[in-house]
Amino acid sequence: MNSLAINTTLNDRISAFAKAGSLLSSYLKKEPTEATAAIESAFYRAQAKNSWFTDENLIHSFEQWSQALSVDSLKKWTTPYHLENIDPKTVAIITAGNLPLVGFHDVLSVIITGHHAMIKNSSNDDVLTPMLLQLATDHLPELSQSYSNNDGRLTGYDAVIATGSDNTARYFEYYFGSKPNIIRKNRNSIAVLTGKETIEHMEALSEDVFNYFGLGCRSVSHLMVPRGYNFDLFFNGMFKQQHLIKNEKYVNNYDYNKAVYLMSEFDLLDNEFLLIKEENDSYSSPIASLGYRFYDDINDAASLIKKDADKLQCIVAQGEAAQLIKTKLSDVEAPSVVDFGTTQCPMLNDYADGIDTVDFLLTLS
């Protein structure tokens, strides 16, 4: 394995990333700093490359990372681990590009543990991570030893973290299987409703459904509801997001999927910007649509979730249903059960697929 010399301490690295977080926070507050121009430029260049990166979605991502990249959050995250005497290795990171900064957690994990991140950014999101890394490096120039960008064939790495679809995962497993690796596949998030929810729950759920246009693995793409469920309250909550119908790409997807469903003679429920249909074979759904399935007993729903745990990222639920599902999932790392409105607000220790990235990286030394 490769041996590297990375001349920074954990406290140095925490300080550098916390500085990047504070600059993001100042940008969001419209407080001028030495980084304002660089952040603004990255913001608009990212949009030019990926039209799903709207102002609203970029701001949401920046807000989450400005909070995560604080001294307190970074120390709280790293304190449980033994990060002393790390033998630095080169970790290749292949990122997805469906959400702004979706691959940054992997990059941060590699660097914060004292390894070198060899980053292959998705062409759909290859502006924002370099920008954040530059903000941290401006504060700590030595950090430049801890990462590199690779646009070509990956060589000289000791381990791999790769995120993609089920199809690309097969390629990743073939190509990178001889090295220590984390290879992530498709997952979806769901909401389990009981009929006891309030309008506030449904409005919060609209964030889980529509943040990032539902493009993330933490985005709710499927509902489990009791047989005979009345969807009126659900649709009332979704109404909070009606402005999305003004987005050209979103409305094109809505119109296309509606046409396909109607030609296929599916029974649809439709509020003029969201389509829902009964779906018992899949947890995924196209943009501007959700699937749902009925359950007769909440225990049956919890059992199905346990059976399909490897397909799921988050379960949105509340009250007794949430407790029951948590108990059923107590012996698996993922999916996690979360509150309404929080799927796209993960903490630093909310690891994708329930795989502790830092633990994995510590096994390399």
For the chain, residues with pLDDT lower than 70 are 1-3, 5
Sequence-separated (6 or more) residues with CB below 8 Å from residue 365: 85, 86, 87, 88, 89
**Distance between CA 286 and CA 284 in Å, rounded?**
7
Count of Cβ atoms closer than 10 Å to residue 274 Cβ: 23
Count of Cβ atoms closer than 10 Å to residue 311 Cβ: 18
**Assigned superfamily of 188-338:** Aldehyde Dehydrogenase; Chain A, domain 2 (3.40.309.10)
Q: Cite the DSSP H helix spans in 164-247.
A: 166-176, 199-210, 232-238
| Residue pLDDT, tens place only, 3-46 | 576 889 999 999 999 999 999 999 999 999 999 999 999 999 99
pLDDT at 182: 97
181 near 160, Cβ under 8 Å?
yes
335 near 305, Cβ under 8 Å?
yes
225 near 197, Cβ under 8 Å?
no
Residue whose entry in the numeric block shows the structure tokens 């693995």: 217
- Residue intervals of the chain classified under CATH 3.40.605.10 are 10-185
pLDDT at 166: 86
pLDDT at 1: 41
| Residue pLDDT, tens place only, 228-269 | 999 999 999 999 999 999 999 999 999 999 999 999 989 999
Would strands 220-226 and 159-163 be described as parallel, antiparallel, or unpaired? unpaired
Task: List residues bridging with 182 in a β-sheet.
Answer: 161
**Assigned superfamily of 10-185:** Aldehyde Dehydrogenase; Chain A, domain 1 (3.40.605.10)
Residue whose entry in the numeric block shows the structure tokens 């914060």: 112
- Residue intervals of the chain classified under CATH 3.40.309.10 are 188-338
**Distance between CA 91 and CA 130 in Å, rounded?**
17
**Distance between CA 188 and CA 312 in Å, rounded?**
5
